[in-house]
Chains A and B, each alone.
Chain A
């Protein structure tokens, strides 16, 4: 029986559960013996000019080995923005010098090296930094005026613009047109493990850097570039990584700084940040203001849709700048809309830089179009599920190109909706809702429906390729080297399953190694839901190729025709067909000659998983508090290799979507001071705010890889966010509310109800 498709428990877990995983701050590597602790001094002003930095007292503090300010950086050059088309004026200094500008609360001003961890915080407090505040630019609306320009050498806060305005007559032939400004708010990725890095220089002139990251190879290249080092001199290791969600893609400047400090000090250096440092310093996500306009006929057919995006890039534009292009690509989503328009403008603000966060550009597209569909449905008085059904792209097995320019591989969106509606008992939910409305209950029912498609395995800097090395050892065990970079996804188990499937070597005897640039020099890391469909496919391909190598060798040994040999699963080797146990074992073959294969798998194109979610909420219409009571989801990611782990990916994704829809938001005051910089302030979704989820199965394989697998890491979030938001709106729709921005907190819902009642009109709104 095939191991693929079975619920194999993780091989990682026994150590994780008894000794604990080994994260960067846990390392006891002997190369780090005697390491100094780095503590950064950060700006507590969002925007201003540094007038003085006095480190004299700090230099005398106990345990201090060195304090670095901008004057002590030698020939370190500011780090250019990570996208080649961005103005070099957006470069980020290593430390903001006297006379220079800080651009967000958290910007780096000095760094202290101490013998002990606690001494670092003491000494950092004694670095006296004076900053003359400038007006803070907190919103993209303020940024767009250019009244205050953050980077004078650039001359404008506009970072980039994509697409053209829609023609004036874009909606001219529509019977009904609805338009609305909506917000896809700034949120924190908030992996439980904050950022951390360590570095040690060897006598051979090479530096070993350990850091928590989603792609060792990419991070290594960046760090070498920033420090002007020969990449051959950099050895980067990602130990166990405590969550990423996109925010650990690419190196952070602090990581490179740790390597530079270790070189300066002539001793190893360690750094791990506090949560409040993380909540201002680590890349954040989403941060789009959107205007959706949707038009069509009263019978439910949508004929034109426009999405205008304003992206907040934060202080130093990074990868968040180009995420709106994914939003634009996926604007049409699951719908067959004849005319689709999308454009985006991106601005720098005095907030934390924006990067990828679970879905990265695609959740924003889905949230927008799903809100638009609901608004359209409400306007024409049609059930929102029915409006979606009328407008779906019909089921397809050959690639289909959308009006917004994406080419989908395979999909059946109506079937996904049918399944989820049936599993949720949609008709009965609507009946219960009607009863409660009729009775005027305090706790009203809301039902939210979403349909989605997303792009996974897109080129995120490594093409659509991934490599794998597979070696069978003389003791009968095997090792897989992969360029993917698991941080919770369970590749050690799934990649072993893929190799085991071909070789018959038990999963427990297959070790999977990753995240070490000396062992795996090339790799694309784990991001964009690419890993199984590219990295897993590469392992599969390596195993198939290794069987072919072994078959030839075994044929010689056994004096048999290679075509007569087959993998003998029971005996972990190769035997003549029909006579198991008569051949040669993997161990014997590996003992005779090294048995190893290196291969690269390249996908023809990305894949497009899809699904449909139903969220049910109960809203107390007196307080505005909405509670999610059910989440029923179809998430079709093609062929599933390990259902246990695939379900785990869905669960986590769904929960993060609920977090954004109901609770989470990074807030600044008018001066740019973070208001949500600890977990006491930031409403990270907890167990009590979630129900157990109801997952419905559906698997439409993709032709883009031999496994038939699409990505599953981000899908849950993309579906659940709009479903929950829609459910909240739906719960108070009978009171005249048409929209509530995310997060749909009690206050927002309560206000929306009051506004709808006060206006006495059909349409409600929120702040």
Chain B
């Protein structure tokens, strides 16, 4: 079947099997491999992307369900070579090690900050409960999200779609 969606600001139309998961569509058909698949059971959040302003685990969404949607992946977060505030904070606070959870964690963090621009340590933890990381113990991820919050509303927005985001 044909599926059309706007991915990172670009209109894309492709042939997919009806059962194709959005995560596989992004990775295998569109070559956007920053989105990782870590569990297949909607538990780990490595595949988190933003669809029409909502953070979504793309391993549990069919590509067809994103028909006509605006999809943002990690690759679409920076603008003109400048990192998004959440990306920049993950770097400065050492919020990533092996990097496998990072794409989903960054996208989820954007959603957390969209909902709550000034979260506490506990609120960040609760907001990221659905995103697992084995390397960092979450300590520096939480610090990174709190740091990103200092940059104001931009930390909770995605640039390409120019949308408000909610978790």
Chain A residues at the B interface, C-beta cutoff of 8 Å: 9-10, 12-14, 16-23, 25-26, 28, 117-118, 190-194, 240-243, 245, 274-276, 487-490, 644-645, 647-648, 651-656, 678-680, 684, 686-688, 690, 692-693, 716
Contacts and interface: CB of A to CB of B under 8 A. Distances in A.
Interface stretch (B63-71, B96-104, B147-155, B157-165): B96-104
Q: Which of B39, B41, B126 is packed against the most chain A CB atoms within 10 Å?
A: B39
B33 interface: yes
A271 to B, nearest CB: 14
A196 B53 CA distance: 32
A347 B4 CA distance: 56
B139 A651 contact: yes
Contacts of A22: 33
B82 to A, nearest CB: 10
A17 B138 contact: no
Interface size class of B (residues with CB under 8 A): 35 or more
Nearest to A15: B99
A723 B100 CA distance: 29
Given A19-B75, A488-B99, A693 B137 contact: yes
B138 A28 contact: no
Contact of A194 (B38, B43, B101, B140): B38
Q: Which of A19, A26, A241, A652 is packed against the most chain B CB atoms within 10 Å?
A: A652
A645 B96 CA distance: 10
A489 B33 CA distance: 22
Contacts of A679: 38-39, 41, 43-44, 132
A118 B133 contact: no
A79 B102 CA distance: 36
Interface in B34-88: 34-36, 38-44, 46, 74-75, 77-78, 83, 87
A193 B31 contact: no
Nearest to A490: B97
B129 A13 contact: no
A568 B140 CA distance: 36
B134 A652 contact: yes
A488 B98 contact: yes
24 contacts: A10-B91, A17-B74, A18-B74, A18-B83, A20-B99, A117-B24, A191-B98, A192-B38, A192-B44, A192-B132, A193-B98, A194-B38, A241-B98, A487-B98, A648-B94, A651-B136, A651-B137, A655-B138, A679-B38, A679-B41, A680-B43, A684-B43, A687-B124, A692-B139
B138 A690 contact: yes
Contacts of B43: 678-680, 684
B125 A688 contact: yes
B121 interface: yes
Contacts of A16: 96, 99, 102
Nearest 3 CB-CB pairings of A with B:
A20-B34, A655-B137, A242-B100
A467 B141 CA distance: 33
A692 B97 CA distance: 17
Given A240-B99, A489-B97, A680 B41 contact: yes
A191 B138 contact: no
Contacts of B142: 687, 692
Given A648-B140, A678-B41, A242 B28 contact: no
A645 B140 CA distance: 11
Given A9-B92, A692-B139, A693-B137, A18 B87 contact: yes
Q: Is the interface of A mostly helix, strand, loop or mixed?
A: loop
Contacts of A192: 36, 38, 44, 46, 98, 100-101, 132-134
A428 B36 CA distance: 46
Given A19-B34, A275-B38, 11 more contacts: A16-B96, A18-B74, A20-B35, A21-B102, A25-B33, A243-B98, A243-B100, A648-B94, A648-B136, A648-B140, A686-B132
B134 A190 contact: yes
Contacts of B132: 192, 679, 684, 686
B114 interface: no
Q: Which of B36, B97, B136 is packed against the most chain A CB atoms within 10 Å?
A: B97
B128 interface: yes
Contact of B40 (A274, A688, A690): A274
Given A118-B19, A692-B142, A26 B33 contact: yes
Contacts of B91: 9-10, 13-14, 17
A23 B100 contact: yes
A684 B106 CA distance: 20
A438 to B, nearest CB: 29
Given A487-B98, A651-B137, A17 B106 contact: yes
Contacts of B143: 692
Q: Which of A16, A243, A684 is packed against the most chain B CB atoms within 10 Å?
A: A16
Contacts of B139: 651, 655, 690, 692-693
A146 B135 CA distance: 40
A687 B75 contact: no
A645 B102 CA distance: 16
